Amino acid sequence: MIKNAQTERVKKAANFIKKQTDVRPIIGIILGSGLGNFAENIENKRTIPYSKIPYFVNTTVKGHTGRLVIGKISNLPIAVMQGRFHYYEGHSMGVVTFPVRVLKQLGIKCLFVTNAAGGINPKFKTGDFMIIKDHINLMGTNPLLNQAQNGFIDSEFEPFINMTDAYDKQYISLGEKTASKSGIRAKTGVLAAIQGPIYETPAEIKMLRRLGADAVCMSAIPEVIMARALNLKVFGISLITNKAGVHLCHENVVKESEKNIERLGRLLTGMIERIKKRGSIY
């Protein structure tokens, strides 16, 4: 293995976190805009501000608290990120996905990604959840590009990453069943990601629909790519906070997310409980 600075940073960050808690998470969860309060469901939690973790950057976007919470749900050890780093904030893809590498170093086997998204599919309503079955990366880059420059030349990665089943089919099925039994509206669809921080024009919305996108966001997909590179199973879910192409602002997106925290909590907690029973799914 060729050692590099990025890999050493990942190890230092993970070692720092391990010293703060004896819990070794199996599931990692990244919470999107306004969805951070899900972490209140965690028992015996240890909360660590990003500012304390070596090589983590601070969150700057409203609705992203900037804390790592480690504890248990249904006696299953988990690590929850209250907020993420965005490419449009000026961070490199290496910085955006650095926490995923740290979570892997902590021991997670699967990653749940959540985000706020604009609904493109005309059948989607504000407040719906969309279980992600596939994605379209329109960000113009990805976290594995120029691996040598970004410090990815080591045994963590295969030379080429297969994204055919980026989102685990067992998790998709489990999410659909959990939502149905919880009385939660959840569709299944394709998520597109753009660079941001600008919202899409009407013409761009039409283009995205023709490409096959059901919803659009400005995050999540880089983390999914990194997770698959690390051979982590992935479950993704978007909260449809608005109809894409209408007049809106980020404040309203956050408000809509906060309105749906309880339902997100029921859905994710229900999935974790089912995973705990099945065990082998992770």
Tokens standing for 34?
A: 């306004």
Q: What are the pLDDT digits (tens) for 186-199?
A: 999 999 999 988 88
Secondary structure letter of residue 59 according to DSSP: P
- Average pLDDT value for the chain: 86
pTM over cut 0.85: yes
Q: Give the per-residue pLDDT at 282.
A: 63
The model's confidence at residue 160, banded by pLDDT at 50, 70 and 90, is confident
For residue 226, pLDDT over 70 is answered with yes
pLDDT at 1 over 50: no
Domains in the chain: ranges and CATH: 5-275 (3.40.50.1580)
Q: How confident is the model at residue 157 (pLDDT cuts 50, 70, 90)?
A: low
The number of beta carbons lying within 10 Å of the beta carbon of residue 40 is 10
What are the tens digits of pLDDT across the range 112-130? 999 989 999 999 988 899 9
For 57-98, how does the pLDDT look when each residue is reduced to its tens digit (9 = 90+)?
Answer: 887 766 557 899 999 998 899 999 998 889 888 899 999 999
| 154 CB-near residues (< 8 Å, 6+ apart) | 1, 2, 3, 4, 7
Report pLDDT for 66.
87
Helix (H) or strand (E) holding 202: helix 202-211
